[in-house]
Structure 1
Amino acid sequence: MISTLTRPGFAQALRVFQQAARTVPAYAKFLCDNGIDADAVRTPADFAEVPPVTKDNYIRAYPPHELISGGAITGAGTWSSSSGSSGTPTFWARDELSHEHGVDLHARILRGFRAETASTLVVVGFSMGDWIGGTYTFRSVADLHRRDLRVSVATPGMDIDLIRADIAALGPYYRQIVLAGYPPFVRDVLDRAPAAVLDQDIKVLMAGEAISEPWRDNLLSLLGKPDRPQDSCLIYGAADAGMFGHETASSITIRRLAQRDSTFRDAMFGADPVLPTFVEYDPTYRYVETDDRGALLCTVANAMPLVRYRINDIGSVHTAAEVGQALLAAGHDQRVRTNTPTAGFIALRGRPDVAVSFYSVKFAPETVRAALTDPRLSGELTGKFVLDKDLDPAGGDRLRLLVELRPDRALDEAFAVAVGSVFVHTVTEASREYRDLRTRIGTRAEPLVELRPFGSPEFRYAIKHDGRVSEA
């Protein structure tokens, strides 16, 4: 763990806190209600005693204008929304400072792809609606013309045919293409793409959900780049605060080394059988702590400043020096490179309140339970389930829902179809993000339902941190 006496980025976090206490009406009330004297908070130890803010105790507890500096709704330059699976959107405001951070971070990613020397077309395959992915990526990349990067951007959104047409038509005029999108959607674009697309130098920029190293290897094989993991990059971000961190060639190398070396893996990430997402982060942009249950707390300057905001992601924070020490202790002379001297790493294990993320749509356990307790199903099911991701017969990503039958119930394909139908109806009613996904990809948004006999071993475990849930 990082000592609170030497944490990089604390000075900036303290400025965000002090300014929010002075200028944000909701935060001033929050501190008063919790008996916190902002002037008495001066050290990292003092700061660690400030109560975290959450969606429930802060974001949803005040009207949006009171969450913005100055209390004026026009302090928001851009609004994004997230609804998860609750169906109730949460709105997040960003301003020019947030935009500048996005430009800086995308510049680092694209320099990792050598865009300072190679003409680059970024094709944005994220949704271009209210959600942050498409608009945030577009604005950040478009403004890189002010930097030393030779970058253009196209915005076909989540349209596979249009993305392929853009790459085929414009790609030959660029040295390389960066395809940006949710991991399973990127695979959809590349799988069985024509030679006019795949014959070009394509790199991939992904966000919205975790990937495994075997999944990355499979994607790279589609690109004809089995030995170039550095041509891929996964972003850790959210509508709440934009980009928290991103993979680099160094972070990917470290994660793949942990996959091969159990000694280093256990020392670095613990005994969890599933590797966490591992990204570099800049503490001067996102000051990140952990609470006593391992939830990440972030402090970030924005139109809607967040101070010790609990995003509910579980993970750990590491300095570059700590990573280097773990490598040496395991016998590896691997240099740890970062974009800035103070940059560190976040190991992200996921959310205990999210069963799985699919095309960036998050499915909460309570929504799945609501479907399985529907009177049309509950008489046949115990309520135990596993929701995760798998590959369909054609090799594409699909949701997989395993459910446990009550004792003496027989496997029945027609009943499996009924389970899928009720699941789709329930989640469609609860989540507008899922409704949008079904519009875009049709039946591939529906789960592959598998019935299991009572007492099957798949249902023995509690919530895991690998993007899947097993409910007993």
Structure 2
Amino acid sequence: MVPTQTRPGFIQALRVFRQAARDVPAYAKFLCDNGVDADAVRTPRDFAEVPPVTKDNYIRAYPPHELIAGGSITGAGTWSSSSGSSGAPTYWARDGISHEHGVRLHARILHGFRAATRPTLVVVGFSMGDWIGGTYTFRSVADLSPHDLRVSVMTPGMDVELIRADIAALGPYYRQIVIAGYPPFVRDVFDGAPAAVLDQDIKVLMAGESISEAWRDNLLTLLGKPGRVEDTCLLYGAADAGMFGYETPASIAIRRLADRDDNLRHDLFGPDPDLPTFVEYDPAYRYFETDADDRLLCTLANAMPLVRYRINDVGSVHTAAEVGSALRAAGRPATVPTTTADAGFVALRGRPDVAQSFYSVKFHPDTIRGALADPRVAAELTGKFVLGKDSGATRADQLTLVVELRPGRTPDASFTDLVGSVFLDTLTAASREYRDLRGRLGTRAEPLVRTRPFGSVEFRYAIKHDGRVSAP
């Protein structure tokens, strides 16, 4: 017997586990190799003992057809890929279940934007290649008609001028425009846009990287909507599984309270001074846990079912009741509205193996270390670095690379250009996503390189320096 009173979403997660153990050849082998008897797993405690799957021990360890139910490659309805900075793509299959979940989750977001009563044009500004953002968003929105939403969709992709032209031409025939895109790209679209664009009622749907509340405020001011945070929504998603969760007006309000209240921030998110991304998730679609290293684990149905999949993101999982208790302890109203009765929250603090994300391109520390070990620059550098992103109220986001000089080294002014050139050569060779970004942005994709003397504060306390800084 399966207990009826368990964590929200566990019954569905257990169903995914058992179906995967029965029908997915790779997962059956994985359980056998790890000595797991699927029939003996009945409770959340049992489930927590099942070894997590990862890209290395599971996704890349088996041929793709064995990761799909029935062992048939045609079980994949749609393929997406992610390559990180290794240059070797990881392929992810999706099917009707994944699509249905995507449609329902986008429907909730667009209901929040009042698209049920306001004719709405959704403009997809994500990349439209085999990365997930553009195609997933387009398909989800295009199939919203059964959800009582008055929505049309178009797909200009990452083309600033085309998006502006589309909004100017079609916007007057709709009550509102929802632009979907990576945060810095969305900013590019509206920074310097003509009145024919900015005069529309614009909502913003973002994904791919974190934002600060100051960044959100700057964007809303640019749109002529100061304080209208409910007109923005940041998704937490990945090619691995589609959408994990999304911001709601309640999650944004709680995050903004934590930004101003150190005690609330600490109670909710721990001692990290940087605010995490904070989203609502539906346990009926995604079952979240954390492991001993605070890495998020997710179980979900898909063409490639994932069971206790270690996403490699660091974060925490909260029920609405737990969030309410933290608010009450901080002397705040403790009511936490959620979209569904069982909905919970995920706080995403970051990815230890990602130095920075820029226009959704992930820069990995090992690749950057490889660039700084190049013989053209290595004699001058310790190898320590901080890859970051500058953002401001009046300028577009700028990728920055701060590097530490060896003791006594004082290279001439041209050295930063050389470091930048080596960075570009290395990343362009390693990452097709970065090659695509350079093709779109040109010199805008190049980092602003700065050198710092040996022992500078950016590096002084880094015992294990991974190059990460928080996104602005």
- Relative to the length of structure 2, the TM-score reads 0.97
- Count of residues paired in the alignment: 467
> 1:406·1:453 contact (CA, 8 Å) conserved in 2?
yes
Residues 148 and 465 of structure 1: CA distance in aligned 2, closer, same or farther (over 3 Å):
farther
Deviation at 1:227, TM superposition (A): 1.2
Are the structure 2 counterparts of residues 53 and 142 from structure 1 closer, same or farther at C-alpha, using a change threshold of 3 Å? same
Please state how far the C-alpha of 1:7 moved relative to its aligned partner: 1.2
Measure the CA separation in 1 of the matches of 2:417 and 2:465.
27
- In structure 2, distance between residues paired with 1:145 and 1:40: 43
Native 8 Å contact 1:351 1:465 kept in 2: no
What per-residue deviation string (whole Å, max 9, x for no partner) do you get for residues 151-197 of structure 1?
00010000000000000000000000001000000000010000000
Whole-Å separation in 2 of the counterparts to 1:62 and 1:334: 47
8 Å contact 1:198–1:223 — kept in the other structure? yes
Change (3 A) 1:464 1:314: farther
The reply to whether residue 152 of structure 1 matches residue 152 of structure 2 is yes
**CA 1:105–1:78 in structure 2 vs 1: closer, same or farther (change >3 Å)?**
same
Tell me the residue number matched to 2:339: 339
CA contact (8 A) 2:355 2:466 kept: no
Residue 468 (structure 1) aligns with: 469
Q: Amino acid of the residue matched to residue 75 of structure 2?
A: G
Q: Would the alpha carbon gap of residues 394 and 319 (structure 1) be closer, same or farther in structure 2, given more than 3 Å must change?
A: closer
Structure-2 separation of matches of 1:393 and 1:108: 30
Residue 413 of structure 1 and its aligned partner are, at CA, apart by 2.0
Between the aligned partners of 1:192 and 1:139, the Cα distance in structure 2 is: 30
Residues 392 and 435 of structure 1: is their aligned pair in 2 closer, same or farther, counting only changes over 3 Å?
A: farther
Contact 1:314 1:349 in 2 (8 A): yes
Match in the other structure for 2:162 = 162
Are the structure 2 counterparts of residues 256 and 108 from structure 1 closer, same or farther at C-alpha, using a change threshold of 3 Å?
same
Match of 1:222 in 2: 222
Deviations for 1:234-292, whole angstroms, at most 9, x for unmatched residues?
00000000000000000000000001111111111112110000000001100010000
Q: Distance in 2 between matches of 1:165 and 1:467?
A: 37
Q: Relative to 1, partners in 2 of residues 1:422 and 1:465: Cα closer, same or farther, differing over 3 Å?
A: closer
CA contact (8 A) 1:350 1:467 kept: no
SS in 2 for 1:375: coil
> SS state of the match for residue 263, structure 1?
helix
Question: Does residue 318 of structure 2 align to residue 318 of structure 1?
Answer: yes
Q: Secondary structure at the match of 1:235?
A: strand
Distance 2:465 2:349 in 1: 9
SS in 2 for 1:318: strand
How high is the sequence identity, in percent, across the aligned residues? 76
Q: CA deviation at 1:456?
A: 0.7
1:13 correspondence with 2:13: yes
- TM-superposed deviation, 1:409: 1.3
Any conservation in 2 of the 1:392–1:398 contact (CA below 8 Å)? no
Moved more, 253-262 or 456-465: 456-465
Q: Relative to 1, partners in 2 of residues 1:254 and 1:356: Cα closer, same or farther, differing over 3 Å? A: same
Q: Within 5 A, what are the aligned runs for 1:207-246?
A: 207-246=207-246
CA change 1:468–1:450 in 2 (3 A) is: same
CA contact (8 A) 2:142 2:152 kept: yes
Q: Does residue 184 of structure 1 match 2:191?
A: no
CA distance in 1, matches of 2:152, 2:328: 41
Separation in 1, partners of 2:228, 2:145: 27
Are 1:350 and 1:465, in contact at CA under 8 Å, matched by a contact in 2? no
Partners of 1:357 and 1:467 within 8 A in 2: no
Task: List gaps (5 residues or longer) in structure 1.
Answer: none
Aligned to 2:442: 442
Separation in 2, partners of 1:421, 1:55: 32
Match of 1:378 in 2: 378
Q: Deviations over 1:203-225 (max 9, x none)?
A: 10000000000011111110011
Matched, 1:348 2:348: yes
Query: 1:460: how far off?
Result: 2.5
The answer on 1:55 being equivalent to 2:61 is no
What is the rounded CA distance, in whole Å, between the counterparts of 1:72 and 1:184 in structure 2?
39
> What does 1:57-456 correspond to in 2, within 5 Å?
57-391=57-391, 395-456=395-456
Task: Specify the SS of the correspondent of 1:376.
Answer: coil
Q: CA deviation at 1:5?
A: 7.0
Contact 2:386-2:468 within 8 A present in 1 as well: no
**Cα offsets for 1:94-127 (capped at 9, x unmatched):** 0001000000000011111111111100000000
| CA deviations over 1:21-42 (Å, ceiling 9, x no partner) | 0000000000000000111111
Local SS of the residue matching 1:313: strand
- Measured after TM superposition, the shift of residue 407 of structure 1 is 1.3
Which residue type is aligned with residue 367 of structure 1? T
Give the distance between the partners of 1:309 and 1:334, measured in 2 at CA. 32
Report the AA paired with residue 326 of structure 2: A
Q: How far apart, CA to CA, are the structure 2 residues paired with 1:392 and 1:268?
A: 28
Aligned equivalents of 2:450, 2:337: Cα separation in 1: 45
CA change 1:225–1:343 in 2 (3 A) is: same
